[in-house]
């Protein structure tokens, strides 16, 4: 076997080492998410919580593969974001920002971890309150979560990306909510957080993606964002963008010294995966990042908003399409939900009743990772009973 062939073989879930790295990254990001949820209290500063999430991932990944002969990259794959209420995504402010959480805020937590470029991402919605979530907030969390449960059952070998887009929109409508436009669920590969195979949240004339069929041994970040509003988010202020990713195929000779300095630092420290401008010196970054973005050297992850008064919920999970079925490796239990709507639609109930494992003859080994399974089916509220009875494993 040539080196190239060996390299190719190792990048796939057919290698147990690769599966282990995905699952180790998932275990860390699940624990980081747990930590962040605990920190979401009234009067807590958003930037401090984001920092704690990232620091935990850096510390935990730093303890792994210390004695490996080969240098193994590991750490944050997507910086911790806390997007509140009608903020849709990517809010991860700079150190000087003073935004705080308030009682009753609906917080979308989004984060990612990688080991050797094998990425596990997760997003979760938490309301800053004790007791059950009710009313429209419960409806939109139930919409996102039930859509995620349906997607988990439809992202499987032989199914098409379009099947998933249509299904999640139908689920959201059952809760009188909308799936947010412009959200893409990407295939994940080593050091690639936005692979070419994608699931589009809502198909419309402006956004087209190639039809694709899911295949065994692929990995996906399934990304569901639901809203009580129109689901057409807007960019209000470019200056709020703090998360960027190096566009590796672009080059340009920067004119400003500050830009060249910042770009050189980005190339050294964050050559491939998304990073937060918080990691750079703030004043210099403000100056230098603008020119880098204007010349397409960096891809920005803008902070988007629905209208004030709208609620937005976000659930994202990483799933491995293993030969024995789909293995969801990132999740977090939801708070108790008391939605105002119930699922009556027979088609949605049928999707939720699908299993996620492929039945094989003979007594295979019992699968590890029950923790994740439990979290996935745990506190879903009445409207999602079908998903817990559907024999997920």
CA dihedral 360, 362, 366, 372 (to 10 degrees): 10
Cα atoms in the Cβ-side hemisphere of radius 13 Å centred on 183: 32
- Tens of pLDDT, residue by residue over 221-243, are 999 999 999 999 999 999 999 99
- pLDDT confidence band for 36 (50 / 70 / 90): very high
Question: Which pLDDT band, with edges at 50, 70 and 90, does 144 fall under?
Answer: very high
Cβ–Cβ < 8 Å for 110, 123: yes
Q: Which residues contact 29 (CB under 8 A, 6 or more apart)?
A: 57, 111, 112, 113, 120, 121, 122, 330
Q: Taking a C-beta distance cutoff of 8 angstroms, is the pair 291, 261 a contact?
A: no
Q: Sorting pLDDT into bands at 50, 70 and 90, what band is 341?
A: very high
Averaged pLDDT of the chain: 89
Which H/E stretch holds residue 328? strand 325-328
Q: Alpha carbon 40 to chain centroid distance?
A: 18
Range of weakest confidence among 159-163, 184-188, 248-252, 332-336: 248-252
DSSP 8-state class, residue 191: T
Pair 256, 284: CB distance under 8 Å: no
> What is the C-alpha to C-alpha distance for residues 127 and 56, in angstroms, rounded to an integer?
22
Task: Select the highest-mean-pLDDT range: 224-238, 280-294, 361-375.
Answer: 224-238
Residue 365's pLDDT is 42
**What's the pLDDT band for 134 if we cut at 50, 70, 90?**
very high
Fold of domain 16-241+302-353: Creatine Amidinohydrolase (3.90.230)
Q: Within 13 Å, how many C-alpha atoms sit on residue 365's CB side?
A: 3
202: left (phi > 0), else alpha (psi -120 to 50), else beta?
Answer: beta
The CA dihedral of 254, 257, 262, 264, to the nearest 10 degrees, is 70
CA angle 163, 200, 217 (to 5 degrees): 70
For residue 42, the model assigns a pLDDT of 98
Distance of CA 130 to the CA centre of its chain: 25
| Mean pLDDT of the region 133-146 | 98
Confidence at residue 285, expressed as pLDDT on a 0 to 100 scale = 87
Torsion of CA 124, 331, 174, 326, to 10 degrees: 150
Does position 117 have pLDDT exceeding 60, yes or no? yes
Give the domain 242-301 fold: Arc Repressor Mutant, subunit A (1.10.10)
Calpha distance 381→132 (Å, rounded) = 9
Residue 330's nearest CA partner among 298, 387, 294, 376 is: 376
Evaluate whether 381 touches 336 at the Cβ level (below 8 Å).
yes
Find, among 6, 85, 96, 14, the residue nearest to 48 by Cα: 96
Helix (H) or strand (E) holding 60: helix 46-62
Residues 112, 192 contacting (CB under 8 angstroms): no
Q: How far is CA 85 from CA 82, 109, 126, 226, 285, in A?
A: 10, 12, 10, 12, 28
Residue 323 burial class via C-beta count within 10 angstroms: exposed 0-12, middle 13-18, buried 19 and up: exposed
Residue ranges covered by each domain of the chain: 16-241+302-353, 242-301
Average pLDDT in the 89-95 region?
96
């Amino acid at each position: 076997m040539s080196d190239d062939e060996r390299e190719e073989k190792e990048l796939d879930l057919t290698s147990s080492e690769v599966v282990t790295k995905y699952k180790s990254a998932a275990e860390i990001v699940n624990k980081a998410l747990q930590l962040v949820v605990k920190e979401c209290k009234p009067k807590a500063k958003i930037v401090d919580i984001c920092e704690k999430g990232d620091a935990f991932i850096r510390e935990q990944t730093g303890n792994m593969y210390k004695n490996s002969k080969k240098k193994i990259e590991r750490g944050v794959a997507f910086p911790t974001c806390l997007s509140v209420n009608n903020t849709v995504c990517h809010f991860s402010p700079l150190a000087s920002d003073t935004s705080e959480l308030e009682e009753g805020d609906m917080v979308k937590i989004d984060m990612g971890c990688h080991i050797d470029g094998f990425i596990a991402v997760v997003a979760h919605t938490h309301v800053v309150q004790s007791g059950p979530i009710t009313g429209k907030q419960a409806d939109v969390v139930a919409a996102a979560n039930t859509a995620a449960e349906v997607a988990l059952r439809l992202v499987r070998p032989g199914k098409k990306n379009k099947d998933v887009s249509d299904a999640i929109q139908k689920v959201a409508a059952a809760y009188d909510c909308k799936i947010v436009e412009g959200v893409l669920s990407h295939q994940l590969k080593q050091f690639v957080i936005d692979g070419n195979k994608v699931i589009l949240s809502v198909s419309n004339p402006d956004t087209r993606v190639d039809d694709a069929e899911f295949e065994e041994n692929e990995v996906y970040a399934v990304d569901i964002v639901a809203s009580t509003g129109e689901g057409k988010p807007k960019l209000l202020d470019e200056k709020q963008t703090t998360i960027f990713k190096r566009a590796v195929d672009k080059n340009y000779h920067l004119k400003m010294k500050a830009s060249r300095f910042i770009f050189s630092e980005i190339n050294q420290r964050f050559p491939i995966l998304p990073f937060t401008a918080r990691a750079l010196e703030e004043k210099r970054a403000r100056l230098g990042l603008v020119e880098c973005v204007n010349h397409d050297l960096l891809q920005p992850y803008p902070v988007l908003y629905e209208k004030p008064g709208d609620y937005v919920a976000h659930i994202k999970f990483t799933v491995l399409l293993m030969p024995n079925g789909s293995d969801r490796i990132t999740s977090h239990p939801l708070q108790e939900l008391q939605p105002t709507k119930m699922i009556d639609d027979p088609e949605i109930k049928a999707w939720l009743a699908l299993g996620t494992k492929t039945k094989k003859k003979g007594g295979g080994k019992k699968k590890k990772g029950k923790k994740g399974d439990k979290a996935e089916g745990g506190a879903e509220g009445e409207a999602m009973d079908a998903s817990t009875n559907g024999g997920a494993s």
